[in-house]
Amino acid sequence: MTRVTFYQNSDQEYMGFLTENHAGYADAGEDIVCAAISALVTNTVNSMEAFTEDDFAVDVDEEHASIKLMMQEHPSKEAELLLKSLSLGLQGIEEDKIYSEFIDIIFEEV
């Protein structure tokens, strides 16, 4: 199961996220849940780089199938929108009865 933790500050601003583990829906190369999660996460990171001037750090650990993005300061409106969009897309997967057992989304205050 893929676990996604969204980090929010006391003002409920998104400060980053951590994705961990493969979804386990199917074998590697055939796992549509893992592919969907990867596409959403990768697009968010690339969009943050291309469309914002925010400072953030990204750590990728391929061995443990994890990606962590953390804002270095309060997010801009653009960065906040991109992170909310990621959350919305992943929650759509989690709410689907077929795929819900392969993703767990957590919100944590930092």
The 10s digit of each residue's pLDDT in 17-40 is: 999 999 999 998 899 999 999 999
Taking residues 40-68, report their average pLDDT. Answer: 96
Q: Is it the case that residue 43 has pLDDT exceeding 90? A: yes
Q: Is the pLDDT of residue 12 over 90?
A: yes
pLDDT digits (tens, 9 = 90+) for 57-103: 999 998 889 999 999 999 999 999 999 999 999 999 999 999 999 99
* Domains, the chain, with CATH or none: 2-109 (3.30.70.1490)
Only one residue has tokens 């689907």, namely 96
What is the three-class DSSP state of 15?
strand
